[in-house]
């Protein structure tokens, strides 16, 4: 077993413990410090006044009061908290080691991952998370040491009370430090382990190959490099006479259909055999990296991030399946935007020239609630194939490209799909006006879209909780230090 395989095996073992008990599952990294705070407050509340049942039955045997007993319990819990933090930190350290090893291996294979968009953000996130875990662990260790000193001295004394305050404040700050790392979880155990840690810094404003560009945009650099190799493998098995771009799009649309459950395995094999050789079908469906689980994870991530894109595609598929006539005889146009906008609005517009002549159209987007307030884009639409949009019902699957899948692949390949980001300026209800005009300014289509802008609740809650915990802990620690300084100065 190579060194990298050993590290992978360790990460998988520690990730299993971490995900089941520490940061997910039981979430002991949050429960343990919360319970320790309860015991600290109990020790503070019972200073000098142990309950009668403790005085009569237990204190003669153990030899210390109720407040000291609660402090010792808090110390025991804090030891478990520090152990859990250390295990979690070690798991992140192993993840970083595997990540760096895979990046180095990709460089040796002449796949420059470090120069790809998003590498710096992923590497920076892993390093910042590691630093945050180090800080949280040292805060927990310092809180445990202070609580041990308090238990040794006397929990009922004035200095003991200030020590309890400082220890509780440090634990609160450790909780806040840990919460700051939970918005973006990552691992290298699974191929999709970095997807949630990756923020796409750039995407094409016009998608040339729609599904290919959409999926590739949201992949982290390591997975993206593997995806490029996977696409090259597909192209090696394309049947003679099938265009590469058409084969790519049809394959990815098949994976999307299979993800939705609208195609069974036998139908998938039949459709794939129209673009790939028999050997290629077996290899692509049994790929060791791009498994069915990974495709499901990719489409889950994509549909959650860009629901407007998939609504637009599904609407086109429905219109195509029933043979619905387009609103304009020589131009297909559709637009969609997500109903709930958080950080940014993703506007998708589809154009398809059904005529045999090249034409130009102007897309105007106006809104007082988004930036830019006024957007004007001119698109040059090349002549498309009118046969891709028939007037009769189209079957779901059939021999050749006369079914819905083949025609949608052709429509997306010949058409133009624009993707624009709009930044909200306020929360609440927002409107967006869309006009499609010819170059002379005549209106072709007008739409108005109403959406709701709101902050992303889960991330907002975590960030707010982290800042609040850090602020409360800092105030408590500063208060304990100030009270101790006052006591020292007053005694001199």
pLDDT tens per residue across span 139-190: 999 999 999 998 888 766 788 888 999 999 999 999 999 998 888 889 999 9
pTM: 0.86
Of 2.60.40.10, 1.20.1250.20, 3.40.718.10, 3.65.10.10, the CATH number of 326-449 is: 2.60.40.10
Domain range annotation of the chain? 3-189+459-491, 201-305, 326-449
Q: How confident is the model at residue 391 (pLDDT cuts 50, 70, 90)?
A: low
Residue 401: the pLDDT is 66
pLDDT tens per residue across span 265-298: 888 888 899 899 999 999 988 899 999 999 999 9
pLDDT tens per residue across span 324-344: 777 787 888 999 999 999 889
pLDDT tens per residue across span 182-214: 888 899 999 999 988 888 877 888 888 899 999
Which two tokens mark 259? 């993800």
Share of the chain above pLDDT 90, in %: 50
pLDDT tens per residue across span 412-445: 888 899 999 999 998 999 999 999 999 888 899 9
- For residue 386, pLDDT over 60 is answered with no
Q: Which residue has the higher pLDDT, 71 or 387?
A: 71
Residue 400: the pLDDT is 65
């Amino acid at each position: 077993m190579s060194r990298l395989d050993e590290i992978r095996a360790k990460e998988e073992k520690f990730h299993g413990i971490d995900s089941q008990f520490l940061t997910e599952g039981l979430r002991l990294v949050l429960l343990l410090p919360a319970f320790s705070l309860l015991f600290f407050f109990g020790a503070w509340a019972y200073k000098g006044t142990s309950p009668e049942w403790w005085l009569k039955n237990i204190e003669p045997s153990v030899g210390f009061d109720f407040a000291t007993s609660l402090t010792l319990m808090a110390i025991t819990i804090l030891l478990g908290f520090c152990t859990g933090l250390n295990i979690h930190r070690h798991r992140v350290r192993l993840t970083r080691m595997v990540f760096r090893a895979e990046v180095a291996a990709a460089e040796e294979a002449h796949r420059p991952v470090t120069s790809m968009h998003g590498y710096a953000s992923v590497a920076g996130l892993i390093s910042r998370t590691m630093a945050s875990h180090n800080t949280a662990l040292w805060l927990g260790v310092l809180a445990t040491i202070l609580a041990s000193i308090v238990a040794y001295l006397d929990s009922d004394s004035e200095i003991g009370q200030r020590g309890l305050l400082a220890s509780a404040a440090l634990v609160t700050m450790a909780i806040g430090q840990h919460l700051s790392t939970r918005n973006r979880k990552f691992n290298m155990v699974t191929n999709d382990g970095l997807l949630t840690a990756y923020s796409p810094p750039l995407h094409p404003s016009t998608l040339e190959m729609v599904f290919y560009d959409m999926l590739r945009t949201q992949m982290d650099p390591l997975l993206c490099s593997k995806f490029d190799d996977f696409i090259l493998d597909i192209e090696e098995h394309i049947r003679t006479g099938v265009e590469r771009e058409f084969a790519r799009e049809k394959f990815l649309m098949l994976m999307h259909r299979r993800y939705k459950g609208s195609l069974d395995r036998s139908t998938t094999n039949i459709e794939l055999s129209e673009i790939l050789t028999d050997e290629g079908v077996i290899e692509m469906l049994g790929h060791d990296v791009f498994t069915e689980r990974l495709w499901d994870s990719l489409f889950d991530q994509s549909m959650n991030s860009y629901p407007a894109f998939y609504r637009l595609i599904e609407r086109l598929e429905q219109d195509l399946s029933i043979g619905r006539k387009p609103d304009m005889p020589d131009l297909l146009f559709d637009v969609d935007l997500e109903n709930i906008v958080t950080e940014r609005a993703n506007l998708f517009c589809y154009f398809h020239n059904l005529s045999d002549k090249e034409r130009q159209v102007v897309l105007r987007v106006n809104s007082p609630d988004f930036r830019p307030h006024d957007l004007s884009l001119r698109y040059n639409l090349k002549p498309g194939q009118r046969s891709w949009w028939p007037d009769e019902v189209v079957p779901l699957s059939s021999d050749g490209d006369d079914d819905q899948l083949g025609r949608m692949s052709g429509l997306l390949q010949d058409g133009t799909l624009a993707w624009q980001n709009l930044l909200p300026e306020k929360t609440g209800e927002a409107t967006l006006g869309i006009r499609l005009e010819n170059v002379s300014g005549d209106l072709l289509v007008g739409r108005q879209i109403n959406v709701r802008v709101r902050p992303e609740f889960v991330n907002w809650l975590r960030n707010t909780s982290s800042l609040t915990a850090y602020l409360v802990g800092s105030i408590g620690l500063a208060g304990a230090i100030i009270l101790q300084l006052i006591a020292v100065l007053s005694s001199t």
